Amino acid sequence: MDMMKLRMLCAGLCICCLSMAQLQPTEPDQSPMDMCYSPAGFPIIKFQANAKASQLNARVLYSRPQVKNREIFGGEIKYNELWRLGANESTELLLYKDAMIGGKKIPKGRYTLYCIPTPDSWTIVVNTDTDSWGGFSYKQALDLVRVKVPAQKMDTPVEYLTMYFDTPGTLTIMWSNVKTSLPIKFLTK
- Please write the tens of the pLDDT for every residue from 81-131: 999 999 988 999 999 999 999 999 999 999 999 999 999 999 999 999 998
Phi, psi of 18 (to 5 degrees): -65, -40
Cα angle 154, 40, 92; round to 5:
80
> pLDDT-derived band of residue 18, with 50, 70 and 90 as boundaries?
very low
Phi, psi of 107 (to 5 degrees): -70, 150
More confident residue, 14 or 30: 30
Q: What span, in angstroms and rounded, lies between the C-alpha atoms of 154 and 23?
A: 43
- Tell me if residue 146 falls in helix, strand or coil: strand
Q: List CB contacts of 101: < 8 A, sequence separation 6 or more.
A: 126, 144, 145, 147, 182, 183, 184, 185
Q: What span, in angstroms and rounded, lies between the C-alpha atoms of 6 and 88?
A: 45
- Tell me if residue 15 falls in helix, strand or coil: helix
The mean pLDDT value for 146-151 works out to 98
In 3D, which of 173, 88, 176 has the Cα closest to residue 124? 173
The mean pLDDT value for 21-41 works out to 70
More confident residue, 152 or 30: 152
In 3D, which of 186, 155, 187 has the Cα closest to residue 171? 186
- Please write the tens of the pLDDT for every residue from 156-184: 999 999 999 987 789 999 999 999 999 99
Burial group, residue 70, by CB count within 10 angstroms (0-12, 13-18, 19+): exposed
More confident residue, 134 or 165: 165
From its phi and psi, is residue 86 left (phi > 0), alpha (psi between -120 and 50) or beta?
left
- Please write the tens of the pLDDT for every residue from 34-62: 888 887 777 666 666 665 655 789 999 99
pLDDT exceeds cutoff 70 at 6? no
